[in-house]
Amino acid sequence: MERDIRGAAMVGQLTEVSPWEAELILNLRLWQDGVRGQDHVWNSYARVFGPQEGRAQLDVFEQLLWVIEANMIRPLVRHGVACRCIGSDEAVFANMVRFASDGELHEASLIATLMVRPAHAEHVALLAGEVGTATRELARGHNAARDGLKNAPFTMH
């Protein structure tokens, strides 16, 4: 039980990280929340990347989570979807993805060993790099869509 508490310890706020890192953490929460959350993540990928590329990008995200789950040292603890806090396990996940997508695969592999057995850390880091790149594009796509809505002429009928 004590490990679970440490994994949930608040280490920050979603407003304190970049938009793409907040998107990543929210997608992790949604995905682990079940079918409705997974549908939300899928719709997000499909809107930004289109159905075919969205499916390919989502497959990598799903594979990353599957490899972590299949080889984890202990279950990852996450906060609720609506929570503004970042838990320590979520921060470890986001930092690993950030390092990997910045090309720092050695550092990402070391961080991955906090979640998975060392034999799987490099594979996790490689997947995390792809996920990070896609999530950055996903966040940019959402920001562009929001900006477009702000500037769109609306009419009342």
136 vs 101: CA distance, rounded Å: 9
Question: In terms of pTM, does the model score above 0.85?
Answer: yes
| 32-53: pLDDT as tens digits | 999 999 999 999 999 999 999 9
Q: How far is residue 20 from each of residues 32, 59, 69, measured CA to CA in Å?
A: 18, 18, 22
Residue carrying the six token digits 């320590």: 88
For 98-120, what is each residue's pLDDT tens digit?
999 999 999 999 999 999 999 99
